[in-house]
Amino acid sequence: MQERLLEVRNLKKYFSTKKGLLHAVDDVNFFINKGETLGLVGESGCGKSTTGRVVLRLLEATGGEIIFEDKDILQFSKDEMREMRKEMQIVFQDPFASLNPRMSVSEIIAEPLRVNKIYKDKIDMSKRVAELMDTVGLAERLVNTYPHELDGGRRQRIGIARALALKPKFIVQDEPVSALDVSIQAQILNLMDDLQKEFSLTYLFISHDLSVVKHVSDRIAVMYLGKIVELSDYKSMFKEPKHPYTQALLSAIPVPSIEVKRERIILEGDVPSPINPPEGCRFYGRCRYRQPICNEKTPELEDIGNDRFVACHFTNNLKEATV
Amino acid sequence: MSNVKTASQNPQSQVASNGTKKKRGPWREVWRRMKKNKAAMVGLLIILILILSAIFADVIAPYGYDEQSLVDRLQTPNSKHLLGTDNFGRDIFSRIIYGSRISLQVGFIAVGIAAILGGTLGAIAGYYGGKLDNVIMRCIDILLAIPGILLAIAIVATLGPGLRNVMIAVGIGSIPSYARIVRASVLSLRDQEFIEAARAVGANDFRIITKHIIPNSMAPIIVQATLGVANAILSAAGLSFLGLGIQPPTPEWGAMLSNARHYLRDYPHIATFPGLAIMITIFGLNLLGDGLRDALDPRLKS
């Protein structure tokens, strides 16, 4: 068995809104092994970015445990957490919003070093910045440029360099390529892959793009309305999706061949509101296999063998609903 | 706005010999855009002339500001007295030059008081939010509910007239606008990803406010401050006109106007020139303020 770097248990994050409690992340469980990439997919607003931020304590969790290297970081004090941040970093989605427009490239990359007082000597620090820029493939001449002078791909490289500066073990990738052109997406994804191998990093890769997630992940967790509905290695998930929602998602991936004929599962209706969600399966209203029990009891994420987890009452015997 | 000269000022063209680009901050960019705006440059020129005349008033002014010569009283402009003399025979040109000292002093210090106090309150309210925000902003609302000039009159009436009290009164009167502007820009910045990124690398509140929030919220404050100086000068002149501000013989433009109103029918020039001085100053500051706003607004970035 591989060593676990991070384990999340019963993680909850509720936001109080005027209409009631918004269950952004509701009882989520998963773990990530050292050196692997866990993909976290789901549609907009399902709570995947919130999960990423709660794991880093950029947002305070409502409940649950986050075990990082055998320690529950939710119990950490502010100072302990500041120390912990050297181990866990984040790359943001929007490379235009995540860089301070008033700071130059070198200032942005040096910020983590400066904040944590890593180097006493300025020359050492600028050497490290140059090294980081080289690692992420930024030309040395760009040290003194400002973010607005660079394109999206380069900006995202700055963000990656900043995340790497403290030599973390774990990086949350919050949709790092969804704001980029497709050609640049590939470059950035390859860069991340190389970095993972070079520095033996562990990633939590958040995305709504299944093809990207398939490309980078060892295991994939599918999220729907604040809950993980299916979690398994990418091969078996793509070969044989178990949860009705995963099945519908995968059937929506275009296949670049005219010979392949397959069934498209069209989901009907809208995603229900995450505010004060009722008891029962969150997917109930849109599931074509739904049974009366689904509306009464919330299915738990269950181990179905081979490290696969599914949250459905009828995992292995789905029958068309007779409604 | 004229865009004729833009081609030669391409940002990419400034590359040093070793290929590394020279450091060019966003402020340089702002200055480049400002230079293209003729009105703003006229405003800047007026303000520069004003500042110079305030600094070198002793050299420029041909007479002292309180030099009376009753023989020469109530003269219209002539070669000896460029803008004529008032009812005490004092040279109006000299008094206007010396008056620029008072006006600039009032303008900048009052705005300084307002920007520092208002800005701090607004930043605290915006950054921490919640109850603190509510308490601070409701107090600001109370200040805002009283008309500025009325508030200033009330404060001066309590503290007594005089240059220092006028500055305090005008300063307090304009605290609300700074508090609101700073709070608004802090609110819009607080949830930006780069703030979150700074927090993710372990930066504390102090660093986040000083390094990330303040530099990014400077633009609206600078614009407001420039326009605020104009307002402060006008308020101070108003207070002096009412006799609550700077006391004679100190040459304050508003006080000069007030003094001249008895002679308005027969000697209109006594009132006209201080009035013009106020008008041109306000005009210059407004042009500069508008120009700065355009130059600092990223949406107009080409």
Q: Do A82 and B202 touch (CB under 8 A)?
A: yes
Query: Do B189 and B129 contact (CB within 8 A), yes or no?
Result: no
Partners of residue B194 in chain A, C-beta under 8 Å: 97-100
Q: Do A101 and B26 touch (CB under 8 A)?
A: yes
What average pLDDT does range A231-243 have in this prediction? Answer: 86
| Across A152-156, A192-196, A238-242, least confident range | A238-242
Q: How far is B139 from chain A (nearest CA, A)?
A: 25
Q: How far is A271 from chain B (nearest CA, A)?
A: 26
Residue position matching structure tokens 């789901």: A42
Q: Do B202 and A116 touch (CB under 8 A)?
A: yes
Provide CB contacts within 8 A for A234, sequence distance 6+.
Answer: A39, A213, A214, A217, A218, A219, A220
For residue A90, the model assigns a pLDDT of 93
Partners of residue B192 in chain A, C-beta under 8 Å: 97
The residue type of B280 is I
Provide CB contacts within 8 A for B104, sequence distance 6+.
Answer: B50, B51, B54, B233
pLDDT more than 90, % of chain B: 16
For residue B23, the model assigns a pLDDT of 56
Query: Which own/partner contact pairs does B165-168 have at CB distance under 8 Å and 24+ positions apart?
Result: B166/B106, B166/B110, B166/B236, B166/B239, B166/B240, B166/B244, B166/B245, B166/B246, B167/B105, B167/B106, B167/B109, B167/B110, B167/B113, B167/B236, B168/B110, B168/B113
Residue (of B187, B160, B182) closest to B228 by Cα position: B182
**Cα nearest neighbour of A91 on chain B:** B197
Partners of residue B10 in chain A, C-beta under 8 Å: none
For residue A203, the model assigns a pLDDT of 94
CA dist., res. A14 & res. B30, Å (int): 43
Chain A interface includes B216 (CB < 8 A)? yes
For residue B26, the model assigns a pLDDT of 66
Most confidently modeled range among A94-98, A247-251, B43-47: B43-47
For residue B59, the model assigns a pLDDT of 85
pLDDT more than 90, % of chain A: 29
pLDDT above 70 (res A268):
yes
Q: Do B23 and A149 touch (CB under 8 A)?
A: no
Q: Do B26 and A111 touch (CB under 8 A)?
A: no
CA dist., res. A57 & res. B38, Å (int): 50
Partners of residue A141 in chain B, C-beta under 8 Å: 18-21
Per CATH, domain A4-87+168-240 is 3.40.50.300: yes
B262 domain-assigned: yes
- pLDDT category of residue B37 using cuts at 50, 70 and 90: confident
Residue of B201, B206, B222, B302 to mutate, interface with A, max A Cβ within 10 Å = B201
pLDDT above 70 (res B62):
yes
- pLDDT category of residue A322 using cuts at 50, 70 and 90: very low
B63 domain-assigned: no
Q: Do A89 and B212 touch (CB under 8 A)?
A: no
Q: Do A100 and B196 touch (CB under 8 A)?
A: no
SS (H, E, C) chain A: CCCEEEEEEEEEEEEEECCEEEEEEEEEEEEEECCCEEEEECCCCCCHHHHHHHHCCCCCCCEEEEEECCEEHHHCCHHHHHHHCCCEEEECCCCCCCCCCCCCHHHHHHHHHHHCCCCCCHHHHHHHHHHHHHHCCCCHHHCCCCHHHCCHHHHHHHHHHHHHCCCCCEEEEECCCCCCCHHHHHHHHHHHHHHHHHHCCEEEEEECCHHHHHHHCCEEEEEECCEEEEEEEHHHHHHCCCCHHHHHHHHCCCCCCCCCCCCCCCCCCCCCCCECCCCCCCCHHHCCCCCHHHHCCCCCCEECCCCCEECCCCCCCCCCCCC
B94 domain-assigned: yes
- pLDDT category of residue B136 using cuts at 50, 70 and 90: very high
> Which domain, by its residues, includes B172?
79-300
Phi first, then psi: what are they for A306, rounded to 5°?
Answer: 55, 35
What average pLDDT does range A287-307 have in this prediction? Answer: 81
Chain A interface includes B21 (CB < 8 A)? yes
Q: Do A116 and B26 touch (CB under 8 A)?
A: no
Residue A87 backbone zone (phi > 0: left; psi -120 to 50: alpha; other: beta): alpha
Query: Do A186 and A218 contact (CB within 8 A), yes or no?
Result: no
**Cα nearest neighbour of B17 on chain A:** A141
Q: Tell whether omega for the bond before A95 is within 30 degrees of 0, i.e. cis.
A: no
pLDDT above 50 (res A25):
yes
Identify which of B18, B194, B207 has the shortest CB distance to residue A115.
B207
- Hey, CA dihedral for B203, B209, B210, B211, is it positive or negative? positive
pLDDT tens-digit map of B165-209: 889 998 998 899 899 998 998 888 888 889 989 988 888 888 888
For residue B7, the model assigns a pLDDT of 40
Q: Do A97 and B20 touch (CB under 8 A)?
A: no
Tokens representing residue B186 in the block: 């802090």
Q: How far is A159 from chain B (nearest CA, A)?
A: 9
Chain B interface includes A118 (CB < 8 A)? no
Q: How far is A78 from chain B (nearest CA, A)?
A: 10
Query: Do A55 and A8 contact (CB within 8 A), yes or no?
Result: yes
Phi first, then psi: what are they for A162, rounded to 5°?
Answer: -60, -40
- pLDDT category of residue A171 using cuts at 50, 70 and 90: very high
**Cα nearest neighbour of A97 on chain B:** B193
Chain A interface includes B79 (CB < 8 A)? no
pLDDT tens-digit map of A35-53: 999 999 988 888 888 999 9
Query: Do A238 and A247 contact (CB within 8 A), yes or no?
Result: no
What average pLDDT does range A159-169 have in this prediction? Answer: 92
Radius of gyration of chain A (CA): 21
Domain count, chain B: 1
Identify which of B193, B198, B215 has the shortest CB distance to residue A111.
B198
More confident residue, A263 or A24: A24
For residue B1, the model assigns a pLDDT of 41
Three-state DSSP state, B85: strand
Identify which of A86, A94, A145 has the shortest CB distance to residue B193.
A94
Query: Do B181 and A67 contact (CB within 8 A), yes or no?
Result: no
**Cα nearest neighbour of B16 on chain A:** A141
For residue B42, the model assigns a pLDDT of 93
Tokens representing residue B41 in the block: 């440059």
What average pLDDT does range B50-66 have in this prediction? Answer: 86
pLDDT tens-digit map of B8-28: 444 444 444 445 555 556 677
Residue (of B209, B226, B212, B228) closest to B148 by Cα position: B228
CA dist., res. A256 & res. A149, Å (int): 37
**For the domain that residue B105 is a member of, what is the CATH number?**
1.10.3720.10
CA dist., res. B123 & res. B129, Å (int): 10
CA distances from A10 to A7, A301, A309, B25, B249 (A): 10, 11, 15, 47, 78
In this structure, the strands spanning A170-174 and A88-91 are: parallel
Q: Do B202 and A112 touch (CB under 8 A)?
A: yes
**Cα nearest neighbour of B10 on chain A:** A149
pLDDT averaged over every residue in chain B:
83
Partners of residue A102 in chain B, C-beta under 8 Å: 25-26, 215-216
For residue B112, the model assigns a pLDDT of 92
CA dist., res. A44 & res. A225, Å (int): 9
Q: Do B11 and A101 touch (CB under 8 A)?
A: no
Chain B interface includes A274 (CB < 8 A)? no
Partners of residue A176 in chain B, C-beta under 8 Å: none
pLDDT above 90 (res B255):
no
What average pLDDT does range B124-144 have in this prediction? Answer: 90
CA distances from A294 to A26, A35, A62, A300 (A): 17, 37, 26, 11
